[in-house]
Amino acid sequence: MAVESSMGAKCAAEFVGTFILMFSVGCNVLSGNRVWGSTSCACALMVSIYGLGGISGANFNPAVSLSLGLSKMLSGPGID
């Protein structure tokens, strides 16, 4: 039986996941290393999805979450 996460926990998980992804992108831009840029972003996204996906659904893009919620393709408490 799964326990439903609160809206605060979902928002915090989305914030942390988005921060991790944007931080890795920013560090890759600053380092200028093209070889490991995509690999590090993929690894950061994979870790965020496995770690936080059970809490928030792991969209990690507020624009995607908002558009899916408005089009009723993403349902759930606090989104409808």
Give the per-residue pLDDT at 14: 85
CB of 43 within 8 A of CB of 4?
A: no
Task: Pick out the chain residues at pLDDT < 50.
Answer: 1, 80
Rg of the Cα trace of the chain? Answer: 14
Give the per-residue pLDDT at 50: 93
Give the per-residue pLDDT at 46: 92
Whole-prediction pTM value? 0.74
Give the per-residue pLDDT at 19: 93
Give the per-residue pLDDT at 77: 56
Beta-carbon contacts of residue 13 (< 8 Å; ≥ 6 apart): 5, 52, 55, 56
